[in-house]
C-alpha cells in the first residue's frame, strides 16, 4: 500500500517533497522529474526555489504529465507555459531538458508514442509528482482509463472542465481534449508522490489509497506501485479509515528512511 503522510498544511507538504527532490538531485545530477501542473504541486515548486538556489541543476531533466490538445503553446494556460512559468524559469532548469506532450493537432496521431519513447530514452522518470482530480483522475486519465494505458489523447470530463475553468475566462475556453501520460506510463516511474489538499479531494484520496482497484477511480492505480507516497493535509485525509495508523507509522519512521 502507499505510504500516507498527513501534514499540517500545503506548505509543510511542499517542504517535505522538496527535500526528497533535492536529495534525489544530490544523488543524481541528471535526475528525471515527472512534473504535474494544476494548483496542487505549486507548494513543492515554491519550496524548491530556495532549496535549489546555488545548486547545479543544469543536468536535471523533466517530463510533464499532460497538455491540452489544440491549445497554442504560447497560451498562458497551456501546460507548456505553466511548466515554463512555475518550474523551468524559477528553478533555473534547462528548457531543452524539460518536455511537455505535444498537443498540436497536426502531429497528435503519433505524439503519445513519441512521448513514451522520449521518457524511455531518458531512462524513465525517477520521481513523479501527481495531483488528483475530484473525480479521481491522475494525469488526465479520467474514470474508465485502462491501468495499462500509454500516453494518448483523452476527452476531459465535464467535471474536470468545470474544475479547470478557473484558469480560463470561461468554461467554453477549456479545451475538450488532452494528451496525457497513461496510467501504465505513470506506473513505470520509480517513485510516485501524490499530493492532495482540501476537503474537496478527501473522497478521491480515500478511494485511491483504500478503495478497490477500479478504473472508475484511476488514482487507485497507485496501489499497484511498489513505492508510492501520498502527502495530504488533514482535510484531504479526513475520509481515510486508517488515518491514525498512517500518523503512527510516520511518527515512528526512522529518520534515515526519507519518504
Ligand atoms: C495536472 C494533472 C491533473 C491535476 C488534477 C488536480 O498535470 O495531471 O491530474 O493534478 O487535475 O488539479 P489541481 O491540482 O489543480 O487540483
Delineate the domains of the chain, giving CATH numbers in brackets. Answer: 7-187 (3.40.50.1360)
Q: Which of 67, 116, 126, 135 is catalytic?
A: 135
User: Do the Cβ atoms of 32 and 124 come closer than 8 Å?
Assistant: yes
Beta pairing, strands 191-196 & 228-233 = parallel
Ligand 1 neighbourhood includes 229 CB (under 6 angstroms): no
* CA dist., res. 249 & res. 239, Å (int): 18
Largest CA distance in the chain: 53
Ligand 1 neighbourhood includes 36 CB (under 6 angstroms): yes
pLDDT tens for the 259 residues of the chain, in order: 799 999 999 999 999 999 999 999 999 999 999 999 999 999 999 999 999 999 999 999 999 999 999 999 999 999 999 999 999 999 999 999 999 999 999 999 999 999 999 999 999 999 999 999 999 999 999 999 999 999 999 999 999 999 999 999 999 999 999 999 999 999 999 999 999 999 999 999 999 999 999 999 999 999 999 999 999 999 999 999 999 999 999 999 988 888 8
Which residue has a Cα nearest atom 2 of ligand 1? 139
Task: Provide the β-strand partners of residue 127.
Answer: 33, 191
Entry pTM: 0.97
- 142 labelled catalytic: yes
- 135 labelled catalytic: yes
Q: Mind giving me the DSSP string for 178-190?
A: EEE--HHHHHTSS
Cell numbers at 259, concatenated = 519518504
Q: Which of 66, 67, 126, 233 is catalytic?
A: 66
Residue 132 Cα to ligand 1 midpoint, Å, equals 6
- 227 labelled catalytic: no
- 66 labelled catalytic: yes
Ligand 1 neighbourhood includes 101 CB (under 6 angstroms): no
Amino acid at each position: 500500500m502507499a505510504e500516507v503522510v498527513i501534514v499540517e498544511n500545503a506548505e509543510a507538504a511542499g517542504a517535505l517533497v522538496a527535500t526528497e527532490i533535492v536529495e534525489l538531485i544530490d544523488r543524481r545530477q541528471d535526475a528525471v522529474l515527472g512534473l504535474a501542473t494544476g494548483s496542487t504541486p505549486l507548494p513543492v515548486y515554491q519550496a524548491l526555489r530556495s532549496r535549489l538556489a546555488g545548486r547545479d541543476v543544469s543536468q536535471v531533466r523533466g517530463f510533464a504529465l499532460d497538455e491540452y490538445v489544440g491549445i497554442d503553446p504560447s497560451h498562458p494556460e497551456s501546460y507548456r507555459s505553466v511548466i515554463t512559468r512555475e518550474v523551468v524559469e524559477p528553478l533555473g532548469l534547462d528548457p531543452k531538458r524539460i518536455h511537455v506532450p505535444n498537443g498540436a493537432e497536426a502531429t497528435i496521431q503519433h505524439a503519445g508514442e513519441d512521448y513514451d519513447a522520449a521518457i524511455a530514452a531518458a531512462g524513465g522518470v525517477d520521481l513523479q509528482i501527481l495531483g488528483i482530480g475530484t473525480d479521481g483522475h491522475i494525469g488526465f486519465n479520467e474514470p474508465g482509463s485502462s491501468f495499462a494505458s500509454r500516453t494518448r489523447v483523452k476527452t476531459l470530463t465535464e467535471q474536470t472542465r468545470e474544475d479547470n475553468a478557473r484558469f480560463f475566462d470561461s468554461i467554453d475556453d477549456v479545451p475538450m481534449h488532452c494528451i496525457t501520460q497513461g496510467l501504465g506510463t505513470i506506473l513505470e516511474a520509480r517513485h510516485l508522490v501524490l499530493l492532495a489538499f482540501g476537503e474537496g479531494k478527501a473522497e478521491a484520496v480515500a478511494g485511491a489509497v483504500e478503495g478497490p482497484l477500479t478504473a472508475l477511480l484511476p488514482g487507485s492505480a497507485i496501489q499497484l506501485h511498489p513505492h508510492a507516497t501520498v502527502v495530504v493535509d488533514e482535510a484531504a485525509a479526513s475520509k481515510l479509515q486508517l488515518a491514525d495508523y498512517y500518523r503512527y507509522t510516520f511518527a515512528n519512521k526512522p529518520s534515515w528512511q526519507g519518504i
